[in-house]
Structure 1
Amino acid sequence: MSREANLPETYCRPLYRADQVRELDKRTIAAGIEGFALMQRAAAAAWQSLKARWPEIRSLSVLCGGGNNGGDGHVLAALAAAEGLAVQRILLKPLEELSGDARHAADMATAAGVGAEPWRSDIRLVGALVVDALLGTGLGGEVRGEAREAIEAINASGLPILSIDIPSGLHADTGAVLGVAVKATRTVTFIGDKLGLHTGAAPARVGEVDFRALGVDADAETDLVPAARLLDAGMIAAWLPPRARSAHKGDFGHALVLGGAPGFGGAALLAAEACARLGAGKVSLATAPEHVTASLVRRPEVMVHGMRGAGDLGELPEQADVLVVGPGLGQGSWGQGMLQAALATDKPLVVDADALNLLATRFTGQRRENWVLTPHPGEAARLLDLSAGEIESDRPAAALALQQRYGGVVVLKGAGSLVAGPEGLAVCPYGNPGMASGGMGDALSGILGALLAQGLLLETAVRLGVLVHALAADIAAEQGGERGLLAGDLAFCARTLVNPTMGVDDAAATR
């Protein structure tokens, strides 16, 4: 049932750190393209992106910083003026202090008849759209002074905003806000897509991300290993081909969910149902006896077992192909016994919720290669003995640190969920704020358990599971809105995702 180890990179756009993109830029220039010519390409791409998104716009306010990012803004201003738009050009650095390509770009805008005015705290943005060309990917410290004032004014304007390369104030590697950051409507980014545009605070700041390679083939630079890969919906069909018509339930594995301590039955029921809906051949649920009736009523297809404690498990863990431990587990003696029983097996594990908290407190020092840990930032902080703020300040580093310490594959949940494993880092660009409700992590655990039960290799299963979970939430939000989105809404939407059909009458096309 296993698949090949390597993931289909066709469906995973490479993401880079800022220093890697700067190196790509240098190599492109060294190959024979002048720096200013590359700047003109970037500005032209940004201008085309602007026109495609806002074809009716007839006036702009372009705010230019002192570096190459500002140079892109100057050239865009010249292009807009040449097409008859009214352009307000606002300078964070006086023209006479500019140098190199940035000065050349500023002179080009001036020659095109674009006026220039210095930044003032009381300045009025008169354009119908704002172009943010203030700060680029080289920013490392907190934004201060006039740049901070300008960003706050942009955000307060109520106007649509195009950010060039990255919203000013956003860290290009981590997605953290460096004091203050522009909240763009669209971000057009160049040469190599940046990791920091897709996780942490970035999803709330970048708007639509429009990647333009500018003719640079980053994949050809084989010594520059991408910092991460961006997951894509195309992975689902690539890794879940149609089932054989002769298939039976034994072909698709047996998943065991351990959870639902006395008084906490709902989480385990959600995980078990998601596991069944995603195609596991058999699903068993080991839960406190008082939850058995609720499970039979909610989902009779799940084989539920009432457990007074881990001693009642018997041979059940050995009969399963994968164990999901944590949903509704609690941190008392019942939950501790269940986790201990799971750790005693050599079966693949999906570890979530209170099982993670117990790993951080009662079962310290554990490491194995056949498990997946799925912490949110608070749980990740406990596992690494850090604060949640430290986790969020550099989510990629935290995900990698968790994987290095605990082994296996780690999912750091949140906006732009990260998957860290032996193949590297992956980022999920899907999902929505409606997922900020109880039980979402339990649904993810069940999805992961189902995919592992069906024979997918660990890292492949985890990347696919995170992808399906987020996309299912997006479908559910489209159907009924983000507010009031429940974890129980995801199972059916996720089932639809893993069963694309090519024709209504073609049963063999289902997956």
Structure 2
Amino acid sequence: MRSISSEEMNALDANCEYFGLLPLQLMENAGSALAREVRDRKPGEQIAIVAGRGNNGGDAFVAARHLADFKVTIYLLGRSRDIATEEAKRNWEILEHLGFDLREVRDSSDLHLQECDLILDAIFGTGVRGTIKGLEAAAIDAINASGKTVISVDVPSGLGTNIAVRSDLVVTFHKSKPGLSDRARILDIGIPPQAEFFVGPGDLRLVGRRGSQSHKGDSGRILVIGGGPYTGAPALSAMAALRAGADVVTVATPKSASSTIAGFSPNLIVQELSDDHLCLDDLDVLKAQIARHDVVVMGMGLGSNSETHEALAKIIPLCPKTVIDADALLPDLPLQGIVTPHLGEFKRISGLSLSKESYHERLAPLMGYAREKSLVVLLKGKIGPVSNLITDGETVRANTNGNAGMTVGGTGDVLA
């Protein structure tokens, strides 16, 4: 099973909340599963929980409640008023109200680990980076020097930094985490497969953000190759690229469309091509433009001129990163990168008709085609709750936010 990074797990948590599965529920599931695992290890009578102030500690607070028939001491590194999340704070307060043995630790000498039979390490989760020092580093040293059986929550605290807990067992949740061995116990906490199939707002967290020291072009230079018979299609794609956050968008378009497209926005750069359609004479100009851009989007409004077809066959292999749509989606072209067909275009390039299939039935043939051709395929078209499917042949995702207004002409060009 592929491991999941801290960033991906945070995105998944956000998506779960979007679909109604709240962080408090997931913390309860994680803590109760952790407690069951501790019980299975027959830990003896006394358990010490060494907890940080984040959700890792929160999971352990829940576990403490489920282990109430043991003698449990919870050592919180720092002050309870500094607990970072609402979910962890709520579970700490439950323990306070119920009279659990809670101790706020200001110095590692406050840790009395020799009195326990088992230590639950819940200081840090997967997101910690850099150098650990101070109280947390001293606590990790104390755990390692204790000689006690240690179970780490999610990952050994400090994994991948200058100091880490040496665990006898790691209990992790949902999926393995980077750096864990095959011996880690992976526990189900009630995240259904659908939460990873349908995209949500958490996925936006995985998209690169503008840095405060960014310069023009750092957030992407996009070249759109389109137009000729149609002017609106490439213009809509270019405007969508600007709205999505690209710094620089250039439209390379035949001269019959160039002045119209230039009028859409002063933010667009328009490269006029030589004729009223894309042709082989444009190759030298386009080679230079491709070299100056990060991504090339092509196909929108190009038409079906045979000379355009010949030019596309030469242009596509020149593009390190490309999105191919509309009139460039032809079966005898050397398709690469990302293709964005609707059902009719997908049948044209693959020979597969999926119009009568449910979205479940579309998954296998769609993934098979993407895998065989080494493409990323975004299949447009709403069916049931699914608006679009996207796959690289190994993973498939779907979104659900389509609406009836998206039947208007040009929507596909914007999506590309």
Pick the structure with more strand per residue: 2
Q: If the length of structure 2 is used for normalisation, what is the TM-score?
A: 0.50
Compare relative contact order (CA 8 Å, sep 6+) and give the higher one, 1 or 2: 1
Q: If the length of structure 1 is used for normalisation, what is the TM-score?
A: 0.41
Q: Which has the larger radius of gyration?
A: 2
